[in-house]
Chains A and B, each alone.
Chain A
């Protein structure tokens, strides 16, 4: 135990004191922020208002459509998180300049087509009475129309037409409005006999964040572990270490030391993110959706740590049976495949967390860190399933650690060509004491 602690301490201090650790810890959040903010910024940059012409049979009908198009979106759309991006928040009058043209002739159509080509206008909407009667209007422009704008246009025009038809049948404008008010669906999840607060979007985010963190941690720190095993082999210090401590102690100390470095880094990032995001988050009414229960937090910590241990032990094993980093990287796919498979399984888990396939997949230790955690977030599975998956995971980590420590002990004494599987198995025999 004392040796494990000494090795852990050395591993931790040596890493945390390096300049690259400092740079990475401070710079990565900056890079991430830029990477995330950049696409949104680029999309809105240089975006000018679109010039649109409405061609209608009468001036009055064209004008009603124009007004409806420029009207602010109704209040009840605000809680729809899907639309809460920056584009939708812009007012329609900033986005569009709308003219009305009551001259639906072929000559006018040709003229408008030329204007679109010469970029005098961005597009025109063909809204003649004939088109309305056929319930099919046409939008002409240089570019493909985004799907969301198409449905928005269709809704807007439908509403004007329906309003007109209703008032022509003797209904007042207020009555028509009342009648045309769409009906919204609000999803509420029942959890443990209570109405859960968060919507599906918040849950989904929680899962994505966890998967991203685990993925990054495994790749970052797992490779660190592998490199550090290789370093001890190539620098030959391993023989001195083995004359003072057991290989299990060495292995455990190394894994925990690198893990502690990772935790430190994540903690620093979390504090930084908290400091930056807190003011803006406090202003957001959506915050309530992201509230995470302590139970889910605990599950996150547990599965994250076990996931890290499992995968970094695999990395350490690769380090023990290879002699150079290139060789080690060739074997990395063995680790990446289960990780990628877990990510592929996420959608089925979120849709049908109870299906037999999902339940059994989430028991397999290599998938459990991501899949069982996702299941806990989506819909708390029966306790026995959580316990079984945890038990299997812990047993696998332990078994791998012992296996790896043995390989490590023998592998370090043999340099040169990478052993094949039968040779590795033979080492296991030599290593047993």
Chain B
């Protein structure tokens, strides 16, 4: 019953690009006057974990929905595995939406089998895989229970299993760690890393910088529907240079108020984090500091993604 209206075939002019698992070229989407995504382009290489970052309302969810064909872009092209996106691609995706939802009255195993079957698995195969994943996530005792009897965290694990049950080539996760306790978050992270090692492509959408920093090889930072930063995470960090210093000291703190060298600092009690002024020489700052106070620590830091994020997004015309 796949009708023509439902197929999300895009303009035939899109060039096949062998490289990317997902390739967005000038994709735009607006709802009435509100522009959710504004000529966004990025490409996700096969294998590994790709981070889609951005503040709330930046257009992350709209972008994901267009990638899996729930909504259709107003303009631009999306290609998947080098072909324009069509319905047939759907079974190769695993999607965990930000808004979680399961049928509350269904039993866990039944529910997983239903989701697996919708993605093309046979009932028996879906049941077998669901059982083994439930074991992995310590849900075996709950497979016969109704979804509504499970805690929120357990429901979230069930939904995660539902998204990867059919062994998708492309896994799209919208804030997968939200609402999980640390132990479950680690279990989920381990599975994601495992899948990435097996050559699956994982797209992680989140506003949590620390997770992206630890998991992702490449990122795309979007704000107001536009790509602000895109590329390899290490390269991005290198581009932003080492301008942060962590200091532990005793004595005169006068050196922190030298505007020529120090742009800002943040006292954490045990140590102080200092952001050097643009163009300032770290060695000169070390001399100044050691002349004023006794240093027990002086370390040149890599900028955190959070800083880059705030630095880029915080600017008025980012």
Question: Hey, which bits of chain A sit against chain B, CB under 8 A?
Answer: 1, 3-4, 6-7, 10, 14, 18, 231-232, 235-249, 252, 402, 405-406, 409-410, 413, 426, 430-433
Contacts and interface: CB of A to CB of B under 8 A. Distances in A.
Given A236-B101, A243-B95, A248 B3 contact: yes
B71 A430 contact: yes
Nearest to A412: B70
Nearest to A233: B101
B114 A247 contact: no
Contacts of A413: 65, 70-71
Closest 7 CB pairs of A and B: A236-B101, A237-B101, A246-B6, A244-B118, A236-B99, A243-B95, A239-B97
A4 B118 CA distance: 9
A242 B9 CA distance: 16
B87 interface: yes
A187 B131 CA distance: 71
**DSSP class of B's interface residues: helix, strand, loop or mixed?**
loop
B260 interface: no
B288 to A, nearest CB: 56
B50 interface: no
Contacts of B309: none
A244 to B, nearest CB: 4
A232 B106 CA distance: 13
Nearest to B148: A235
B100 A236 contact: yes
Contacts, number: 94
B101 A3 contact: no
Contact of A430 (B6, B31, B100, B119): B31
Contact of B118 (A235, A241, A252, A430): A241
Given A14-B105, A244-B90, A244-B119, A239 B99 contact: yes
B114 A238 contact: no
A413 B3 CA distance: 20
A246 B114 CA distance: 16
A154 B163 CA distance: 83
B70 A406 contact: no
Interface residues on B, range: 35 or more
Given A247-B6, A248-B6, A413-B70, A14 B103 contact: yes
Given A235-B102, A409-B70, A413-B65, A240 B97 contact: yes
B111 to A, nearest CB: 9
A426 B32 contact: yes
Contacts of A426: 32
B76 to A, nearest CB: 15
A235 B163 CA distance: 17
A240 B103 CA distance: 11
B238 interface: no
Contacts of B4: 433
Nearest to B62: A413
A244 B95 CA distance: 9
A319 to B, nearest CB: 16
Given A236-B100, A237-B101, A433 B72 contact: yes
A64 to B, nearest CB: 75
Contact of A243 (B90, B104, B117): B90
Contact of A10 (B32, B91, B100, B114): B114
The CB with the most chain B CB atoms within 10 A, among A232, A235, A244, is that of A244
A244 B89 CA distance: 10
B118 A3 contact: yes
A433 B118 contact: no
B71 A240 contact: no
A231 B91 CA distance: 24
A408 to B, nearest CB: 11
Contacts of A247: 6
A242 B70 contact: yes
Interface in B1-47: 1-9, 31-32
A402 B72 CA distance: 17
B59 interface: no
A402 B5 CA distance: 9
Most chain B C-beta atoms within 10 Å of own C-beta, residue among A7, A402, A413: A413
Given A235-B104, A237-B101, A246-B3, 9 more contacts: A6-B117, A10-B106, A237-B102, A240-B115, A243-B69, A244-B119, A246-B2, A248-B6, A413-B70
Among A10, A232, A406, A433, which residue has the most Cβ atoms of chain B within 10 A?
A: A433
Nearest to B3: A248
Nearest to A18: B105
A63 B282 CA distance: 134
Contact of A238 (B31, B72, B101): B101
A14 B102 CA distance: 14
Most chain A beta carbons < 10 A, residue from B7, B65, B101, B114: B101
